[in-house]
Structure 1
Amino acid sequence: MRRIGRISGLVTAITLALGLSGCGASYDTTAPRSAREQAAEDQQAKSDAKNTTLDATNGSEHIDCSKVKCVALTFDAGPSENTPRLLEILKKNKAHATFFMLGKNHIEKHPDLVRRIADEGHELANHTWSHKILTDSDDDEVRSEINRVQKAVKKLTGRTPLLMRPPQGRTDERVSKISRELGVAQVLWSVTAKDYQTNDSALIKERVLEQTERDGVILLHDIYKGTVPAVPGILKELKKRGYTVVTVGQLLAPAVAEPGKVYKP
């Protein structure tokens, strides 16, 4: 029964009606915890067969989120003039985040910040070139929106993002198919401060903390005036509550994000 329950939780078919996608699109999602547990089980089976020791770091500092109370911190739509302060805050708190970056007016305007994000150990990710709604775009537009960011980040850092967050979280089976072809997994979220609606840093902090649970994914934006000032208080309280702040890649490890899949806590 335990195995049946775990497998059924690994890939859950859901219909997001007027939810994240804003439409009735139906598609499969995978919870980070389920992906992590399945990968660990598969790796252990291989390890047992070969009589070797597991060491899955997923290309970054190894944090075992099966033993540590983890939550992934993500920022959308930057980099911007607010990002340097955010990077200083993260450095001071010894925390790393995943940056889902926009191309137009962001990557192309702040190439030095893209390099700095990479150099300081954060995870580089894709939020499309111009924030077009992918489910409303034709196939060529979807490919262009994703590919332009992939190429720009690779040119600046030597790294190609493995993760993409569709604008407004709107995706479907067609977008997933194209994402798989382009080598990116999609990442949604479980916590949103709706910081696009307010510059009240205290309210942003409150909204994040009241929604955060283990193995969740926090969505914030480093383009809005009230968001970055809220981050120190968020990090301090999360630490007090026993959380370890990680990137999406660390949350999934030892699983590696699979292109085309939609990850959602």
Structure 2
Amino acid sequence: MKNKSYSGIAIFILFFILMLLGINLNKDELEPEQKSTWKELKSIELMAILENEMKREDSGSSQTSTEDLPDYTQMFPDLYTVYSTPVKMDKGKKIAYLTFDDGPSKNTYEVLDILEERDIKATFFIVGSAINDKNEATLKRMVHEGHTIGIHTYSHMCNEIYCSVERFLDDFNTVYQQIYDITGERVNIYRFPWGSNNGYSKGIKDALMEEMERRGFSCYDWNVSANDSVGNPTPYSIRSNIKKDLNRQDYPIILMHDSSINDLTVKMLPDIIDMIQEEGFEFDTLDNRVPYQFQW
């Protein structure tokens, strides 16, 4: 117990020193009006690293030697976040989580209109390459209206993002910075394209998820799917796919899509919401739910 305590103190002292050094590093190269912002961001980065490392040590998973860490841990030194992971759920309620992948698109506007009308909050897993000048306002609206933004990678291309941990981090960092520049929000949850147990990432999955956790990010799969991007969905199939698995879960995470090809999903959304509410569910965003990943 003493060794663990001493190790924690040593980590704190180390990062405190790094913070003091970091907030002065290169600051003379900045314009006066940039110094305050740069200092704040640098402090956030270093404190995020510290908090995440302390959490890992408390769980017994901390690596004490930097020599043991892979090279990719040194990539993108500002790709860190602090996520207060929920540890339990309210067993007295049935709560459903509407999630939309692959946006933003022309359909996202209508999805947001429907959610606003129903006073429902949802979670949107954003694809960075889908963001353009016309739909940047969509992301700002999500934040303003209380929805949660997650990351669904920049490219959504399996042959690019799953080649290596380094390639995934490069892709992820692009959309992470993109969303921050637009909204001022530091996203802390993500969803793998094709889910966490897809065949494309099998060779790097464990190392990748460990690295993402080390940086403070949490992964969310789903346990109910509309299957609205598979084959030729119909209104009946979308509704039936959701209904058949909905009551098997106290806290269903419902996968839908709001890309430009998912017009039918948007048309069905009011009916889907009615059905879920009739089954006694309330709605919430995923950052208030215990993380969920597929079981291998």
TM norm. shorter chain > 0.5: yes
Corresponding residue for residue 144 of structure 1: 170
Describe the SS at the equivalent of 2:283.
Answer: strand
The one-letter code of the counterpart of 1:242 is G
**Number of residue pairs the alignment of both structures matches:** 198
- Specify which structure has the higher proportion of strand: 1
Describe the SS at the equivalent of 1:226.
Answer: helix
Corresponding residue for residue 65 of structure 2: none
Of 205, 211, 214 in structure 1, the residue corresponding to residue 239 of structure 2 is 205
Describe the SS at the equivalent of 2:105.
Answer: coil
Corresponding residue for residue 58 of structure 2: none
The one-letter code of the counterpart of 1:177 is E
Query: What is the CA deviation profile of residues 27-47 of structure 1, one whole-angstrom value per residue up to 9, with x for unaligned ones?
Result: xxxxxxxx85xx35xxxxxxx
- Residues 128, 203 of structure 1: alpha-carbon distance in 2 compared, 3 angstrom cutoff: same
Note if 1:196 corresponds to 2:221: no
Relative contact order (alpha carbons < 8 A, sep ≥ 6): 1 or 2 greater?
A: 1
Q: CA RMSD in A?
A: 2.1
Corresponding residue for residue 215 of structure 1: 251
Contact 1:199 1:227 in 2 (8 A): no
Query: How much has 1:264 moved relative to structure 2?
Result: 4.8
The one-letter code of the counterpart of 2:250 is R
Corresponding residue for residue 22 of structure 1: none
Query: How much has 1:145 moved relative to structure 2?
Result: 1.5
Query: What is the CA deviation profile of residues 151-193 of structure 1, one whole-angstrom value per residue up to 9, with x for unaligned ones?
Result: 1111111111111101101351022023124431111110112
Deviates more, 1:69-78 or 1:198-207: 198-207
Contact 2:125 2:149 in 1 (8 A): yes
Corresponding residue for residue 106 of structure 1: 131
Instruction: Give the TM-score of the pair, scaled to structure 2.
Output: 0.62
Contact 1:147 1:182 in 2 (8 A): no
Describe the SS at the equivalent of 1:77.
Answer: strand
Distance in 1 (alpha carbons) for counterparts of 2:143 and 2:281: 24
Note if 1:183 corresponds to 2:219: no
- Structure-to-structure mapping, 1:66-145, within 5 angstroms: 66-106=91-131, 110-133=135-158, 136-145=162-171
Describe the SS at the equivalent of 2:120.
Answer: coil
Query: How much has 1:220 moved relative to structure 2?
Result: 0.4
Distance in 1 (alpha carbons) for counterparts of 2:115 and 2:228: 19
The one-letter code of the counterpart of 1:210 is K
* Structure 1 unaligned blocks of 5 or more: 1-34, 41-63
Corresponding residue for residue 237 of structure 1: 275
* Structure 2 unaligned blocks of 5 or more: 1-84
Distance in 2 (alpha carbons) for counterparts of 1:200 and 1:111: 30
Distance in 2 (alpha carbons) for counterparts of 1:207 and 1:152: 34
Contact 1:82 1:228 in 2 (8 A): yes
Query: What is the CA deviation profile of residues 114-159 of structure 1, one whole-angstrom value per residue up to 9, with x for unaligned ones?
Result: 1111111100100000003377322221111211111111111111
Contact 1:202 1:230 in 2 (8 A): no
Distance in 1 (alpha carbons) for counterparts of 2:219 and 2:132: 19
